[in-house]
Amino acid sequence: MKNSVWAVLAAFLWMASPAGGDPGDERILLAKDAARSGDRNRLALYAPPTGHPLDPYPEYWALSAHVARPGDINPLPILDFLERQRGSLLAERLRGEWLRALGKRGEWDTLAAEFPAMEQPEQDVKCYHLQARLGLGDAAALDDARPLWFSLVDTPESCIPVLQALVREARVSPDETWSRVRRLMEAKRFAGARAVAAWLPADQQPASIELERAGQTPSTYLDRLPVSFAAQRQGRELALIALARLSRDDPMGAYTRYLGLNERFSAAERSYALGQIAWQAATRLMPDANPWFKAAGDTPMSEEQAAWRVRAALRAGDWRGVKAGVEAMPAEQRKLPDWTYWLGRAQMALGNRDASRLEFERIAGHPTFYGILADEELGRGFTLPKKARALSADEAEQVRQTPGVQRALALFRLEMRTEGAREWNWTMRNRDDRFLIGAAQLAQQLGIYDRAINAADRTKSEHDYSLRYLAPYRERIEPNARNQSLDPGWVYGLMRQESRFVTAARSSVGAQGLMQIMPATGQWVAGKLGMKGYHIGWLRDPDTNVMLGTTYMRMVLEGLDNHPVLASAAYNAGPGRARKWKDARPLEGAIYAETIPFGETPDYVKKVMPNSVIYPALLDGTAPSLKARLGTIAPSAGGDFSGLGSPAPGAGLEPAAE
């Protein structure tokens, strides 16, 4: 009886599959269901291959379950699968799972032998490999492990023995141990901080309860500090930790308490405290942040802290501070286009034109926020690159016959979008431009627009911007944009960032459809338009979604000085926040975008705005100036946003679909 039920379900799934579905599709879906429910016997029925592109998946699911079970692991079927699927995503995933199992069992020889075949090992697997090297007597393992002491915040369990080995072998100093405790406490990783504090020399170890109080109730802790707190290292460190923790909620309150304690600290400790307070003040756009950073001097800073040091100087119009802040960054951070551009601007403002030009040339010629701005500083507007030559039939066929492409397309056909995106992304790595363009064309033809963009975005020398910046659904989008008196380039630019033109896109917080509209926002806009009978299904309909989304864009734009930068920020984070991030004085649009202190929103704005320049170049043949579009943000004043709904922060595609 049970088997007949599954036969009926299989038939239904096959009949319900999209046109062009493979007769073996139902077997894959049934295998997936068996794997999800942990039914190994039923999964075994679907594991034998039948010539379907997704044949490796049921076998992978079965082997993955085998690896996860306690007890001995038979390596022979695993090794056989890894050999047959060499270089595939599933081989990478299974090998990673196997290495984790080997690490938990302490089977160092096998782990050390298999690890080099990993292409993109995750951090926990890397730490198991370090454990294996240590266990096999590799003295250089400690040298390779030492950077983890300074970079890890969320620490996988497999990394803890590696960090302990660094302490045991005196490869980190007490000062570096305190630095790690501080960093963990700053990030509210209290359990990790307590563990690391226990590795300090006995005469410096703080009481666990005191460390917890400094982190959990910092204002109370500081107000009750004993007079003798500064006599020992741990007393001063706990006070510094409390100041750093308090600054997260109340920078001014932390600064006030700092002023009452600063003479009890060393110069380095004072700089640390001021650097922490300045950092948190900067993320709240407080004018005091810039002078506090200056007072902190050359205290060591995290990359995020160093970035906010520069942003605080930008908000203050302090170009010398911008220059000093960028030049103090670690070399790799300083090379990023963001800071290269702002160093160029600082050099220009300080009269160093040759030096500024040198910085701009480093990043010009790329279709990015700072790449386009650098071009404009050099007197060049954005122009589309020469379109790649047409693909030959053989090149297109090579793409179609690539197993990873076939697997990805089959997964999309079965509406296994997350798995399909992962398979596609893995297959696109290390490909040449011709293959990427062919893959983008194939995905476009099949209506898988997000993967078309994903592939076309990766080209290095030959480009096709009509694939990078797809403009589907023109019959829906352009009339709605005109009806709302919106620039179609801005609408396309925002939609590309929101959903990559996936009509079924749904974010982790519930935003839906082409324009990633939150249900409450859709209901509010529908009400304003007098539309009756609203239900969430409207957001999944492309026509209604675009109509509601463009209406909302126009409402937000009108409520925010008709400024596209403010409106773009508002679409992602809400109009109230976009208005709050203004300054008391006029602010350059690029500085406003760079200093948005909220999650993904600054990156979002810095992608939507260059998109809005590139789309007109494709659609109309002429690209407007990005700097002109960014314009100037008027000072804070007025505007009632109490009625406007707010699309949720984080709206857009899930990470696997990037």
Question: Given this model, what pLDDT does residue 318 score?
Answer: 98
SS3 517: strand
Question: Given this model, what pLDDT does residue 34 score?
Answer: 96
Residue 251 CA: distances (Å) to CA of 90, 280, 595, 599: 48, 6, 18, 19
Task: Read off the pTM.
Answer: 0.91
Q: Are 589 and 522 in contact, with CB atoms under 8 Å apart?
A: no
Looking at the chain, the whole-number percentage of residues with pLDDT higher than 70 is 94
Q: How far apart are CA 363 and CA 265, in angstroms?
A: 43
Task: Tell whether the model's pLDDT for residue 651 goes beyond 70.
Answer: no
Confidence of residue 648 (pLDDT cuts 50, 70, 90): very low
Task: Tell whether the model's pLDDT for residue 2 goes beyond 50.
Answer: no
Question: Given this model, what pLDDT does residue 632 score?
Answer: 98
Half-sphere exposure of 168 (CA within 13 A, CB side): 8
Q: Are 539 and 545 in contact, with CB atoms under 8 Å apart?
A: yes
- Please state, rounded to an integer, the average pLDDT across all residues of the chain: 93
Q: Using one digit for the tens of pLDDT, what is the confidence trace for 387-407?
A: 999 999 999 999 999 999 999
Taking phi first (over 0 means left), then psi (-120 to 50 degrees means alpha), and beta for anything else, what does residue 634 get?
beta
User: For the chain, first and last CA: distance in Å?
Assistant: 44
Q: Are 297 and 271 in contact, with CB atoms under 8 Å apart?
A: yes
What are φ and ψ of residue 50, in 5° steps? -130, 10
In eight-state DSSP terms, residue 187 is T
Question: Given this model, what pLDDT does residue 646 score?
Answer: 43
Task: Tell whether the model's pLDDT for residue 385 goes beyond 90.
Answer: yes
Looking at the chain, the whole-number percentage of residues with pLDDT higher than 90 is 90
Residue 116 CA: distances (Å) to CA of 106, 110, 347: 17, 11, 45
Q: Using one digit for the tens of pLDDT, what is the confidence trace for 75-116?
A: 999 999 999 999 999 999 999 999 999 999 999 999 999 999
Task: Tell whether the model's pLDDT for residue 14 goes beyond 50.
Answer: no
Burial of 156 (0-12, 13-18, 19+ CB in 10 A): middle
Span 191-212, average pLDDT: 96
Angle at which helix 140-151 crosses helix 160-168, to 10 degrees, equals 110
Task: Tell whether the model's pLDDT for residue 340 goes beyond 90.
Answer: yes
Question: Given this model, what pLDDT does residue 652 score?
Answer: 38
Q: How far apart are CA 478 and CA 500, in angstroms?
A: 17
Span 560-584, average pLDDT: 97
Question: Given this model, what pLDDT does residue 176 score?
Answer: 97
Span 198-204, average pLDDT: 96
Q: Are 225 and 196 in contact, with CB atoms under 8 Å apart?
A: no
Confidence of residue 22 (pLDDT cuts 50, 70, 90): confident
Question: Given this model, what pLDDT does residue 21 score?
Answer: 62
Q: Using one digit for the tens of pLDDT, what is the confidence trace for 286-327?
A: 999 999 999 999 999 999 999 999 999 999 999 999 999 999
Q: How far apart are CA 267 and CA 200, in angstroms?
A: 22
> In sequence order, what DSSP letters do the residues of 306-318 get, joined into one string?
HHHHHHHHHHHT-
Span 23-29, average pLDDT: 91
Q: How far apart are CA 184 and CA 192, in angstroms?
A: 7
Instruction: Give exposure, 53-76, as e/b (b: 16+ Cβ within 10 Å).
Output: bbbbbbbbbbbbbbbeeeeebeee
Task: Tell whether the model's pLDDT for residue 129 goes beyond 60.
Answer: yes
Question: Given this model, what pLDDT does residue 72 score?
Answer: 84
Question: Given this model, what pLDDT does residue 71 score?
Answer: 82
Confidence of residue 23 (pLDDT cuts 50, 70, 90): confident
Among residues 45, 110, 120, the alpha carbon closest in space to that of 76 is found at 110
Residue 526 CA: distances (Å) to CA of 293, 482, 523, 531: 47, 19, 5, 5
Task: Tell whether the model's pLDDT for residue 644 goes beyond 50.
Answer: no
Burial of 49 (0-12, 13-18, 19+ CB in 10 A): exposed
Taking phi first (over 0 means left), then psi (-120 to 50 degrees means alpha), and beta for anything else, what does residue 154 get?
beta
Task: Tell whether the model's pLDDT for residue 255 goes beyond 70.
Answer: yes
Task: Supply 207's token pair.
Answer: 């009481």
Residue with the bigger pLDDT between 341 and 639: it is 341
Among residues 346, 375, 349, 376, the alpha carbon closest in space to that of 362 is found at 375
Q: Are 610 and 367 in contact, with CB atoms under 8 Å apart?
A: yes
Residue 471 CA: distances (Å) to CA of 196, 224, 487, 562, 564: 53, 62, 14, 24, 20
Task: Supply 600's token pair.
Answer: 């993904």
Task: Supply 269's token pair.
Answer: 């400790």
Q: How far apart are CA 456 and CA 369, in angstroms?
A: 18
Task: Tell whether the model's pLDDT for residue 227 goes beyond 70.
Answer: yes
Task: Tell whether the model's pLDDT for residue 18 goes beyond 90.
Answer: no
Confidence of residue 508 (pLDDT cuts 50, 70, 90): confident
Return the number of other C-beta atoms located less than 10 Å from residue 542's C-beta: 18
Span 619-638, average pLDDT: 93
SS3 506: strand
Q: How far apart are CA 289 and CA 279, in angstroms?
A: 7
Task: Tell whether the model's pLDDT for residue 16 goes beyond 70.
Answer: no
Task: Supply 316's token pair.
Answer: 């203050």
